Amino acid sequence: MPQFSYRARDAQGALVEGVLDCADRAIAIRQIEQKRCIPIKIELVDAKPEPTKKSSAAKVIGQAAPTQSLKIPHNQLLIFTEQLAHLLQAGMTLDEGLSILEKRLKQPRVQQMTRVLHQGLVDGRSFSQTLREMPRIFQPLFVNLVAAGEASGALPEILLRLVKHLMQAKNLRDRVQQALIYPAFLAVAGAGLITVFITYMVPQLTGFMAQIGGALPLPTRILMQANHAIVTYWWLALLIVVGISVGFRAFVRTEEGRLTWDRFRLKIPGYGRVIRHRYYAQFSRTLGTLIQNGIPLLRSLDLVSEIAGNRYLELKLVEARRAVVDGATLSAALASQRIFPELFTDMMAVGEQTGRFGETMQAIADVYERELDRNVAIISQLIPPVIIVLIALVVGLVVYSILSAVFEATHSLQFRPH
């Protein structure tokens, strides 16, 4: 019977090597998985080693330095994760799956990333350890879920759940961005139209009025003064805008400034509600995914706070974590911080009492994603008419100023002696 030498990772992450007597590789893989290990490499005992392994290893080692700054698009990460999960489910080892993806995925940065991951396995590091060396690609959430998959022997299933989670987060972000494209276009178009009126039409009116003489109405004089200020002092306005921008950036770089700004953003009418509901959905979805994949609650709270993107909420979660360490339930700890609505914490408490915490958090995420969609739809429907009304008012005032001057000039010409 053929013999297969193998290399695998056990539930504690230690490297395990050995030899199995099996009819084929598929049986060898199943036997390794029954030992709650993840197969990394399986070879026939009589098989010759690949002659290019050393040269490829040297090549990857030479490329290991810039991996700290390596970054790939989000959709490429999704493709890589999903295809690797499917290859592992088909019975391939992690070593074979990465080798195939290195040839299949043509994007240069993805190939470089795959080579580095493959070389990490060859060097004896675990998959999650190599992922941690590329922080700009793999977030702590991704790395810790993979580590949980390695420990539990269910890496393919973990990777598929990661794909689902990343897709849900991407869809949530895309829905918010797409809903704001049309209002942003209207705002830019309106600003351009107003600029054309003031910088082009007003000088024409000034020349016309200079030729015919006569007093100008008050609205026309105000419009001409506005045009004069824009044409003459545009550089001052630009300096003010740049100064405010630089000052604001310096302010939010400080701890107190960042905390003040992040707290203020949550209270902005309309916009703050969207941010809050987006965070509720993201928090519950991520926490539920971590708990369902075996990450301890305290570690899960650390990871969720890292991806909050809001300093004020991060500090509130740190306080809630301290309360959990002291013996409080998570729902009670969050309720005391007053950063989540009562419905949220009440549903979480039910999940804690029933022992279905992970499933309950996913259900909460569904609720607040629907609320987010509804809020975004309402705001995106309200913004265009508001912008149109503002543009109409400004354009109407400009047109009224021009027409009033024309009517005044016409009136004066009628009564001027020949």
**Closest Cα to residue 277, out of 189, 364, 177, 206?**
364
- Please tell me the predicted confidence (pLDDT) of residue 135: 84
Say how far residue 287 (Cα) sits from the centre of its chain. 16
Say how far residue 232 (Cα) sits from the centre of its chain. 42
* pLDDT band of 58, cuts 50, 70, 90: very low
Kindly report the average pLDDT of the chain as a whole number. Answer: 80
% of the chain with per-residue pLDDT over 90: 17
Digit-coded pLDDT (tens) for 232-286:
888 898 999 999 999 999 999 999 999 999 999 999 888 888 889 888 988 888 8
* pLDDT band of 342, cuts 50, 70, 90: very high
Q: Quick one: average pLDDT of 340-354? A: 93
What torsion, rounded to 10 degrees, do the Cα atoms 315, 319, 320, 325 define?
140
Residue 196 reports pLDDT greater than 50: yes
The structural architecture, per CATH, of the domain 54-172 is Up-down Bundle (1.20)
Left (φ > 0), alpha (ψ -120 to 50) or beta: where does 296 sit? beta
Residue holding tokens 């099996």? Answer: 22
Question: Are 54-172 and 180-418 the same fold in CATH?
Answer: yes
CB-based burial of residue 152 (10 Å sphere; 0-12 exposed, 13-18 middle, 19+ buried)? Answer: middle
Digit-coded pLDDT (tens) for 378-414:
877 787 788 788 878 877 887 787 777 777 767 765 5
Q: Strand 38-44 relative to strand 15-21: parallel, antiparallel, unpaired? A: unpaired
d(CA 154, CA 148): 8
Partners of 7 in beta bridges = 17, 41
Residue 53 reports pLDDT greater than 60: no
Coil, strand or helix: which one is 8? strand
Domain residue ranges of the chain, discontinuous segments joined by +? 3-44, 54-172, 180-418
Q: Quick one: average pLDDT of 200-210? A: 69
The CATH H-level superfamily of 180-418 is: Type II secretion system (T2SS), domain F (1.20.81.30)
**C-alpha angle with apex 388: 386 to 391, nearest 5 degrees?**
110
